Structures are given as structure tokens and as C-alpha cells.
Amino acid sequence: MIFRRSRRHSRRRISPIPARVKPGSLALFPAGKPAEGSQPARNLSKPGATKRTSRRNNGRGPRQLSLIDSVPAPGPAPPPAQQTPSPEAQPATKPAESDPGTTEAPQAETMKREKPRRRETAESLASRQREISVSEFFTKNRHLLGFDNPQKALLTAIKEAVDNSLDACEEAGILPVLKVEIDQLAEDRFRIAVQDNGPGIVKAQIPKIFGKLLYGSKFHTLKQARGQQGIGISAAGMYGLLTTGKSIVVTSRTGPGKPAHYYEIQIDTRKNAPQVIADTVVEWEPQHGTRVEIELVGTYKKGRHSVDDYIRQTAIANPHAEIFYSFPGGAGTLQFPRASDNLPPEPRAIKPHPYGVELGVLIRMLKETSSRRLDLTLRRDFSRVSDRVAEEICAAAELRPGSNPHLIAVQEAERLYKAINSVKVMSPPTNCLSPIGEEQILSGIKKEIPAVFFTAVSRSPAVYRGNPFLVEVGMAHGGGLPADGLVDLLRFANRVPLQYQQSSCAVTKAVLSIDWRSYGLSQSKGALPTGPVVLFVHIASVWVPFTSESKEAIAAYPEITRELRLALQDCGRRLSTHIRARRREVEEEKKRSYIERYIPHIGIALREILGMSKPAEEELVVTLKDVLERSRSHEPIS
């Protein structure tokens, strides 16, 4: 608000004019009413300043007066004036400390001095783009591989080395003999070593196998194997390098009379490439095999989820293997003897099944095939596709059997994909699987679990997404197992123990979905059954659908869940039969104790009543026991 003063009123003191508050606005004090305890406005300028100022202000335009009765609304500072008056024109008065305008002035000056941030351009953004190697990714996300805490890291490193050793021995047709050693160097530092009697590793392949992620021989083949992605052992060496700075040490010999190669390898995470620190030939006693040593930061604990429990479960699922285990603080080496001299059946690699191929993969296979006819491509590159099935697929897709697969467009490939899923194709062959078998399961659990009842079920192979799989379940009951605890659930995938993420695994969900009370066990809602039971559940497949790269839980596909339930229910019925038979035996024993307790008293009473002799009494007691035993067993009494 601006007030104009005439020349004749320039020397008259101006009384403060209260501001009129607009409706809906905020006011610190009511209009026209000064704050309690406040002093009336005073002229703080020097005597005569008003007179001089008014004289100088004549001819310069109207003078502005600020009203401070209402609180200004918060907002950005007003823009600075275009012209700055000279120092002589500045009033000599100082603003009161309670004036809110005095705190906003420095902020406005600060905002005026700040320079606007320079924005990025397309060129500057493009200059920072670069390729990210898989090693760099897993260096920052090592929890995806199972190295998220020291205890789990120690277990994962040993597990990856043991899996590779068992696979190598079985592929070479050698009964595995493994040595697992854990040496504690400091409170949180360990050196682990895993040695096998396998076929060894060729010298040129050693740096790539242990110093490069995603390098292996099993990813592109469809057959059962413990390893799948070519990440495990090289990731364990990478974790050791990150935590201790030490290289992974590998010693390998491929046969008698051949040199033993000693390597110290580190992984270049920027290039995902191995760096060979040492490469020498050493004296080594074994005739063939491989020894891997890794120094890392970890935590050693006993009990569940420990290395000790992993070794025990590995011995159960692999009864054909002999394992020597040395752990920190142990008095010696713990031996898990071999329970069977029979190697598991050797799995055969198969071609992909049409039902398990997605559209993008089908387009790639059509572009890369060596055949020049579509029907030949379907027969040669897929399993279970005969001449008749290939003709039906081509007819359903409205494509000529003699079409060149390299020239098929995306729309035609999509029709072909839909036609494949509409035609009935035989299930894939199951010789790509290597199940443990019922006899081997019983041998393994009898060797390690103190129970009195054992049973095992091996289901027929089934298919999920075109991948064959097989479910096996073993069960142990009674004996020295705790009767008041939850069921001990042992989960396995391709003979490898799964010790973490139990609640998110398809095996656990299948166990929880069954009413175990109908099989003689007590069970709370949403919990595992209670009783002296150990459940052994194994899934064998050419491609196990793990929920993460750490391979700790199995995805709950409907086909897998169904097979798990059927196998568990079969074992449950056998357990129920055993429990009922056991209860009958207990009742029979109880009745027998009654007979043995009261028959002699009956003999004494009859002797006193009938006046029988002592030998006659004893003969009568024997006769009565025999009659009661036969009547209870439903045998004819002569």
C-alpha cells in the first residue's frame, strides 16, 4: 500500500496505520491492537533526519511505507529492486529485532548469489556409459550367490568345491573319495581345502574354471548335474580375494606319470578374466585328482545350517561317496564311510522338448539350425518329435514342411509356437535323470539316522515346462529321535543339501499342505508335524527351478508340488501302518504283562479252593497262560 504526502504535511509526524487483514489470511496480532508488552513505534533516527529526508525525497516520487501489523505469508523472497538508492538516501533507522522482514533479506541475497546447477546433456550422459562385467555385478551383489554373512559364506565355499568334486568323479566313473579340511588361522579367518580323486583338470582350463564367472560345461546341456551355471567355485575364490586379498590355490594331476600343476589365481572383476599369479609344476602324491584351497573370512559354528550338518547330509544323499572331514577344534578326522559300491546311473544329455521352448528361443533356434527344411528342424533339434508330429505341427501353423527355417518371419514363428503347444507331444525321455533310488536312500539314512522304521518312495518321472524331473522321499521314525520336536526336514536338489530359505521352498510348502494327523502324527496349524520323524525329500531334474542364484530353495511349480504331495502321502500311509502296528504291539505287551502278573494268583486261589498240590498248581498256571495266549492270537485251542 502506498501513501502520498503533500508538501505541507511533510513535517507532520505520521501515526502508524494498522493493516486490514483479508479474510482467510493469518495475522500475528489483531488489527489495531498492539501486542501485549510491546512498545509503541518510535522514530529511531537522529534529530532532524526526518526533515532532511523529506527534503531530499521531494521530487523523487512517492515514499513507500511498510506495514508490519500482519505476518507475511511464507514464500520466495521478492525480487531485488532494479535501482539501488545512494547511501545518502538510505534511512538512518535500524529495524527492530522482531521485524520478520530482517531475516528474509539475507536469504534473498544468498539465493541471488547461488549459481544454477548445470544440467546434464545427452553427450555428457553418453560419455559415462560403460559395460558392466558379471564379476563386477556379483562383487556388489555377492549375497545373491550365498555370501551374505560369514557363516553362510564358509558353508557356500565348501559346498561349491564339494559339488564340483562329486560331479567330476561320477562323470569319470570313479567312486568318490573326498577330503574336506577347515583350518582356523584367526578368529574370523579360515583356510578351506577340498581334495578329490577325480580325473583332474587339463592345464589350459584351470585358470578359466577358477578365475572366470559363467564358465562351465553344464549350462548348455540338458542332463542332471549338481552345478548348472558355472559360477560357484569361481565366486568362492572371488569372495576369498575380496575379504583376504589371497589367491585361490589349485593343484591338479590328470593321470599317473603326468605332472601336477600348481596355480595361484585371482579374478579381474573389471574384465571377468583370470590373472595367473603362479604357475609351476610340483611334487604331489595322488596319482590323479584336484585340490582347491581358499583363504577367506568366515564364522564356524556347529548345529543346524553348519558345515558339519552339510557334510552329514551330503553323506546321506551320496552313499557311494567316502568323505574325510577335518574341522576346527577337532581331535582328528571324522570319517563318513561308503554305504554302497554302486555308482548312480549315468545321465544322458537330451535335446530340448518342444513344450519347454519359449518363443524367443524358438526364433533363435530357427535362425541357427543347420537344416534347410522346417520338418527336419523339428525332428532333429527337438526331442520326441516324429515325422507325424512334425507334419501335424506344420499343418496347425499353416506352414509348408519344406519351408526354409531361416526365412521364417516373426509372425510365422509365433504361429508355429502356438501350434507346438496345441499338438500332443510325447513326454521327454528320462534317461537324462540319475535318481538316488529307494535302496540307496535307505542305505544312506540307515547309516546316519538312529531310527527303527525306514521307508522310501521313488516316483515316476514327470515334466514341468518341458523339463523332466523326479521326486524321491525317504522317512525314518522312532528309535533315538526326539519325540517332542518338529519333524527334521532334509531337502535335496540333484543330491545337494538345501539348508537355507526353507519356508520359501516348494518342498516345505508341500509338507505343510498335508494333514499329518491322519497318518498318526500331531500337527499345529501352519507348522510342520511333531514327532520322532526325519523326512528326506529329493528332487532330480535336468534344470532345477531355483528361486535365486544361491540355489537354496525350489520354485513351487504346480507339477512339482503335485508330485511332492503324492510321494509324501505314500510315505505317510506306510508310516500310519507302522504306527498302528506299533500301538497294537504295545497293547499286546501290556496285556501280556497282566497275564504274567495275575495268573500265578489265580493258581494259588484254585489250589486253596480245590486242595491241589504244588506241582498241580504250577501245571495249571502253565495251561492257563497257554490258553490265554492262543485266545489272544486267535489260534485254535486243542
Q: Are residues 199 and 303 in the same domain?
A: yes
HSE-up (13 A, CA, CB side) for residue 176: 30
| Cell 507334419 sits on residue | 391
Q: Are residues 365 and 221 in the same domain?
A: no
CA-based nearest residue to 568, from 601, 603, 594, 529? 529
Beta-bridge partners for 538: 472, 492
For the cut 70, the answer to whether the pLDDT of residue 8 exceeds it is no
Amino acid at site 303: G
Dihedral angle at the C-alpha atoms of 520, 525, 527, 529, nearest 10 degrees? Answer: 0
CA 328/CA 41 separation, integer angstroms: 86
Give the per-residue pLDDT at 593: 76
Asked if the structure places residue 521 within a domain, the reply is: yes
Asked if the structure places residue 107 within a domain, the reply is: no
Please state which of the ranges 14-18, 321-325, 348-352, 453-457 shows the lowest mean pLDDT. 14-18
HSE-up (13 A, CA, CB side) for residue 360: 0
Amino acid at site 43: N
Pick the last residue of a domain from 309, 336, 363. 336
Residue pLDDT, tens place only, 49-82: 444 444 444 445 445 444 344 444 454 555 554 4
Q: Largest Cα–Cα distance of the chain, in whole Å?
A: 157
CA 539/CA 558 separation, integer angstroms: 14
Asked if the structure places residue 547 within a domain, the reply is: yes
pLDDT tier at 576, thresholds 50, 70, 90: very high
Q: Are residues 387 and 454 in the same domain?
A: no
Write the CA distances from 428 to 335, 417, 462, 559, integer angstroms: 40, 18, 9, 15
Q: Are residues 272 and 288 in the same domain?
A: yes
CA 17/CA 20 separation, integer angstroms: 9
CA-based nearest residue to 31, from 43, 40, 22? 22
CA-based nearest residue to 445, from 315, 564, 322, 538? 315
Give the per-residue pLDDT at 513: 93
Angle, helix 374-381 to helix 387-397, in steps of 10 degrees: 130
**CATH number for position 305:** 3.30.565.10
For the cut 90, the answer to whether the pLDDT of residue 232 exceeds it is no
Give 270-276 contacts, CB < 8 A, sequence gap 24+. Answer: 270/133, 270/135, 270/136, 271/133, 271/135, 272/133, 272/134, 272/135, 272/136, 272/212, 272/213, 272/214, 273/211, 273/212, 274/207, 274/208, 274/210, 274/211, 274/212, 275/211, 276/207, 276/211
Q: Between these two residues, 596 and 152, which has the higher pLDDT value?
A: 152
Q: Are residues 443 and 558 in the same domain?
A: yes
Residue pLDDT, tens place only, 506-526: 999 999 999 999 998 998 888
Separation of CA 475 from chain center: 26
pLDDT tier at 326, thresholds 50, 70, 90: very high
Tell the burial category of 431 from Cβ atoms under 10 Å away from its Cβ (0-12, 13-18, 19+): middle
3-state secondary structure of 322: strand
Residue pLDDT, tens place only, 124-161: 888 888 777 777 787 788 887 778 889 999 999 999 99
CA 604/CA 625 separation, integer angstroms: 14
For the cut 50, the answer to whether the pLDDT of residue 486 exceeds it is yes
For the four alpha carbons of 405, 407, 408 and 410, in that order, the dihedral sign comes to: positive
CB 250 within 8 A of CB 196: no
**CATH number for position 408:** 1.10.8.50
Percent of the chain residues past pLDDT 90, beyond the cut: 46
pLDDT tier at 106, thresholds 50, 70, 90: low
Q: Are residues 224 and 371 in the same domain?
A: no
Pick the last residue of a domain from 336, 368, 395. 336
Q: Are residues 221 and 271 in the same domain?
A: yes
Asked if the structure places residue 311 within a domain, the reply is: yes
Q: Are residues 393 and 516 in the same domain?
A: no
Domain count, the chain: 4
Tell the burial category of 39 from Cβ atoms under 10 Å away from its Cβ (0-12, 13-18, 19+): exposed
Asked if the structure places residue 468 within a domain, the reply is: yes
Copy the grid coordinates of residue 100. Answer: 520478520
**CATH number for position 565:** 3.30.230.10
Number of other CB atoms surrounding residue 394 within 10 Å: 21
Q: Are residues 488 and 558 in the same domain?
A: yes
Asked if the structure places residue 602 within a domain, the reply is: yes
Q: What is the mean predicted confidence (pLDDT) over 493-506?
A: 92
CA 141/CA 162 separation, integer angstroms: 23
Give the per-residue pLDDT at 51: 43
Pick the last residue of a domain from 389, 422, 455. 422
DSSP 168-207: HHHHTT---EEEEEEEE-SSSEEEEEEEE-S----GGGHH
Asked if the structure places residue 102 within a domain, the reply is: no
Name residues whose C-beta falls within 8 Å of residue 615's C-beta, 6 or more positions apart in sequence. none
Q: Are residues 378 and 461 in the same domain?
A: no
| Torsion region of 453: left, alpha or beta (phi above 0 gives left; psi -120 to 50 gives alpha) | beta
Give the per-residue pLDDT at 223: 85
Task: Return the ∠ at Cα 494 (arms to 454 and 198), rounded to 5°.
Answer: 105
For the cut 80, the answer to whether the pLDDT of residue 286 exceeds it is yes
Give the per-residue pLDDT at 116: 72
- φ, ψ of residue 57 to 5 degrees: the values are -80, -15
Amino acid at site 632: R
Q: Are residues 259 and 405 in the same domain?
A: no
3-state secondary structure of 537: strand
Domain that holds residue 474: 438-580
Give the per-residue pLDDT at 161: 93
Copy the grid coordinates of residue 320. Answer: 557311494
Asked if the structure places residue 12 within a domain, the reply is: no
Residue pLDDT, tens place only, 376-419: 999 999 999 999 999 999 999 999 999 999 999 999 999 999 99
Q: Are residues 470 and 556 in the same domain?
A: yes
| Cell 544322458 sits on residue | 348
Write the CA distances from 515 to 117, 519, 523, integer angstroms: 65, 8, 8
Alpha helices, DSSP H only, in 382-537? 387-397, 410-422, 438-448, 506-512
